[in-house]
Amino acid sequence: MAAACLAFLVLAGLASAQSVRSHLLVSTEWLAANLDRPDVVVLHVTRDPATYARGHIPGARLLTWDQFTTVRDGVPNELPSPGELADRFSRLGVGDNTRVILYGDPPGLVAARAWFTLDYLGHGEHAALLDGGLEKWRAEGRPVSQQEPPSPTPGKLTLHLRPEVVETLARIRRLVEVPDPGVLLMDTRPPEEYRGEKPAGNPARAGHIPGAVNFYWPDALVSREIPAFKPETELRRLFESAGAQRGRRIITYCGSGVQASLVYFLARYLGYEAALYDGSISEWSRDPQNPLVTGPSPR
């Protein structure tokens, strides 16, 4: 019996280790060694193009916030049409066989949102975040450039849309009305917003969507100064302490789908099935019939 239990534990540990999608996260060492590969496209993701001009990883191409987000029906940071997105990424040289490495404004939220966008388009398995971002790259004394690289040859990006990773208002309403134990709703905002001490949304309302647990995204970082992720074992402990389980689908949300993108990325990195409620509190709070509750996280 003891031997059987030990074998089970070993197999369980192997299954957990194998579930990590390690290719979704690359180190600065890996990038430095692969920077000149023709199939690697590095994207500097930012809300402010001036940050790119002040210094970027050599050869990185500029992806601005307005190229992959839009305002729809008054809700900010929504996904543009798939055709528009494919065209914008293709113009930067992203194609079906491209390995895309993303980094951006500190502490990494905008790059995570760009990764979510590529995942929605069906290219997420070919894209990765740079662990620690430009901050870690600079801290290690690696070169930065202020020169814009030559215009890239456009790529051919075939769409393999994954609509299942984008949750809608109607489906979140159904989840609130009929809770599903196979789904874990994660509010990734600051605890004071989750608890209702600081109203948010438009109009501003206090609290969180019923049934949601709080997973504040900076808890996954070593520090904001060098925003590398904590080790996989620590990340998994954080997710499990919030209620994540193998086979339980995670839905993340925040104020407008940006903070939630980073936790969505981590859920996918750790091997969980995940989706993002893109409208988030910005959309949910607009209808007073959509309930919000206050108080601490149940876990």
253 neighbors 209 (Cβ within 8 angstroms): yes
d(C-alpha 81, C-alpha 261), whole Å: 18
Q: Is the dihedral of CA 219, 222, 225, 227 positive or negative?
A: negative
Q: What totals of helices (H) and strands (E) does the chain contain, helices first?
A: 11, 12
Helix axes 82-91, 109-121, angle to 10 degrees: 110
Tokens of 190: 């600051």
* Residue 254 appears among annotated catalytic residues: yes
Measured in degrees and rounded to the nearest 5, phi and psi for residue 186 equal -115, 120
The DSSP secondary structure of 30-81, one letter per residue, reads HHHHHTT-TTEEEEEEES-HHHHHH-B-TT-EEEEGGGT-EEETTEEEE---
d(C-alpha 228, C-alpha 294), whole Å: 32
The catalytically annotated residue of 75, 101, 102, 254 is 254
Q: Which residues of 229-268 are buried (b: 16+ CB within 10 A; e: fewer)?
A: beebeebbebbeebbbeeeebbbbbbbbbbbbbbbbbbbb
Catalytic site residues?
254
